[in-house]
A and B are shown apart, each in its own frame.
Chain A
Amino acid sequence: MNDLAVSCRNLRKHYEDVKAVDGLDLSIVRGECFGLLGPNGAGKTTTIEILEGLTIPDGGEVEVLGLSWKRNEHELRERMGISLQETQLHEKLTVIETLRLFRSFYANGRNPDGLLRELSLDEKRDARVGKLSGGQKQRLAVACALVGNPDILFLDEPTTGLDPQSRLQLWEVVAKFRATGGTVLLTTHYMDEAERLCDHIAIVDHGQLIALGTPKELIAKLEAPNVVEFASDPPVDRDRVSAIHGVHAVSRRGDHWLLTVDSLAEVVPRLIATVENRGAKLRTLSTHAATLEDLFVSLTGRELRDV
């Protein structure tokens, strides 16, 4: 019995001419929350579905809870809970009927009513699934994942499209599950979510691992830990901006320039001077400490959300 909840080596999955997963190695320690991060089409869902035993890889080795899908499928299914990216549960059933159905599949599990209270869904107990809000549906999906009292939880983009309030509620659910010793693997393209929830993060792009570490370690990898964002009238061109001393990288978001810099104290006055020398006026100027989002941009030259 090792202390790895998930381990996979050289995982590969090709669809026709697309390499969805291309030689991925992952190790997830029991009890941690592990985040798989990347833009749409990076191979996150394929990876998580291979680990969930729903997709058969073309190559590589997978072990979940020290068990293999080939030999221990039933035991693995008993011990894991999953929420798929796009499942629509029966619209005509009520919340409690749905949860009872899922409970019946597991030899051991949680009491459906207790679980609903824990997920603040008890008021919706007898409501039809079709009448729930997006956040409530997502919490019900997670309740269906938890009702078998799993050791490991797989969540594929659990908060995509949810309002901030619903995201917070889901984060609490994940935190509660971890407090009982459970392991979580989640995919997301929200950086703040990964920073908030995850002990370790793997950033994937084109089916390959491009960075791995704790959120802090990853951000520390950025040579320049701060970001300056500004817009001016008229706009200043890229060459002038990147010529400013102390600017490491320049990228564009709409009509804004994003500069990754070492020291805000040194760069900001120089930036203002450059803009004024051009006879332009600053429209907005803001700064923030570099995030995983910035890391992603610096690693791939692309933005996470709109790739």
Chain B
Amino acid sequence: MSETPHHPIVELTIVRTKEFLRETEAVFWVFGFPLLLALALGFAFRSKPPDRIPIAVVDGPQAAAREAALARSPALLPRIMTAGEARLALRRGKVSLLIDGQRTPVYRFDVTRPDARTARVEADDALQTAAGRRDVFRSSESHVTEQGSRYIDFLLPGLLGMNLMSTGMWAVGFTIVNARMKKLLKRLVATPMRKSDYLIAQFLSRLVFLLLEVTFLVAFGWIVFGVRVNGSIWTLALLCLVGGFSFSGVGILVASRARTIEAVSGMMNVVMMPMWLCSGVFFSYERFPEAAKPFIRALPLTALNDALRAVMNDAMPLHTVAMPMAILAIWGIVCFALALRIFRWQ
């Protein structure tokens, strides 16, 4: 029985993939973690009417009448409390607004809290109406509920991007540093193996998990939250591929010299933290100052998130996301080339 050996890249990729699948903890972090995250979000964003904002009415002669008027507003959840209780509840954030005052109400609230401002407007409106105010005209409302513009539609592509970043970087970073610590890298470079083959195999084995990871998260979002992929599935696939490659490249660079798992963990966090915060995972980066935006847009996670949202929510075609894809590709290629030069094999 004589079998022809595979190409080193094929063999390295197979080995890396098997090794990963046999590492139970790693499998959890790639598949279990996004599942838990999605479930937690499922509870937070399950379909239900908007929450009523809890507010406190300080006990007094007017309290009962005020409470009755406020309870008519669909946005408010009033409770009568003593002055002491009410202040404590406000301080602890259990209520967003405190209503006091003898003949005319006095509103006490934190002006920087959006829900408190909402409660103030709603409460004033309810009390004025109860006191006999007549509206000048009758307005009507049209509620935004269509798919593609809810918060969960914004969030899910962001989570997908974040997951591609963290699993890509951790998977590659840990493997490399672990192999370096065990002197396995040193043993490998003592063979005729091409160094670039080893690093390319790191990319390729990521591809296998990328496919599973993305399918899993997108399917979950679709089935549980009805977050549909409005654009082309193939464009989405290509985007995830480019994103996955980009972050593997960053991961290889971060891991290129670290000698211990502790060192590489620290460096990973330093690299990923700014992107968790700035790249629009949980909220839009439009809130950042104008001067910071060019830098934020140049980050790979920002590019990936923008492109994912364009494809998933706005059904944008491939050519419109060429720019973010180029940004991702450049990050991947530059990091990979740099890593190959400075990589510590021993």
Contact = CB atoms under 8 A, between A and B. Distances in A.
Contact of B191 (A88, A111, A113, A148): A148
Given A93-B18, A93-B19, A101-B15, A77 B183 contact: no
B184 A78 contact: no
B190 interface: yes
Among A87, A101, A144, residue most surrounded by chain B Cβ atoms (within 10 Å) = A101
Interface string B168-184: 00000000000000111
Contacts of A74: 192
B335 to A, nearest CB: 25
Nearest to B187: A87
A90 B20 CA distance: 11
Interface in B1-52: 1-3, 5-8, 10-12, 14-15, 18-19, 22-23
Contact of A87 (B5, B14, B23, B183): B183
A97 B190 contact: no
A106 B191 contact: yes
Given A54-B346, A77-B191, A87-B187, A92 B18 contact: yes
B189 interface: yes
A211 B188 CA distance: 34
A54 B186 contact: yes
Interface string B192-204: 1100000000000
Contacts of A53: 190
B17 to A, nearest CB: 11
B15 A93 contact: yes
Contacts of B189: 54
Among B14, B23, B187, the one with the most A-chain Cβ atoms within 10 Å of its Cβ is: B187
Nearest to A52: B190
Contacts of A88: 182-184
Contacts of A107: 192
A97 B15 contact: yes
Nearest to B182: A88
Nearest to A109: B5
Contacts of B1: 111, 113
A84 B190 contact: yes
Contacts of A113: 1
A100 interface: yes
Interface in A116-153: 144, 148
A74 B192 CA distance: 6
Contacts of A50: none
B182 A87 contact: yes
A104 B7 contact: yes
Contact of B184 (A77, A90, A100): A90
A90 B19 contact: yes
A113 B183 CA distance: 25
Given A77-B191, A84-B183, A90-B184, A104 B18 contact: no
Contacts of B11: 100-101, 104
Contacts of B6: 100, 104
Contacts of A272: none
B16 to A, nearest CB: 9
A82 interface: yes
Contact of A102 (B3, B18, B191): B191
Contacts of B187: 82, 84, 87, 89, 144
B18 A97 contact: yes
Contacts of A109: 5
B19 A104 contact: no
A89 B14 CA distance: 16
Nearest to A73: B192
A200 interface: no
Q: Which 6 A-B pairs have the closest CB atoms?
A: A104-B11, A88-B182, A77-B192, A92-B22, A105-B191, A105-B193
Interface of A: 52-54, 74, 77-78, 82, 84, 86-90, 92-93, 97, 100-107, 109, 111, 113, 144, 148
Interface of B: 1-3, 5-8, 10-12, 14-15, 18-19, 22-23, 182-184, 186-193, 346
17 contacts: A53-B190, A84-B186, A84-B190, A88-B183, A89-B184, A89-B187, A90-B15, A92-B23, A93-B19, A100-B6, A101-B11, A104-B10, A105-B188, A105-B191, A106-B191, A111-B2, A113-B1
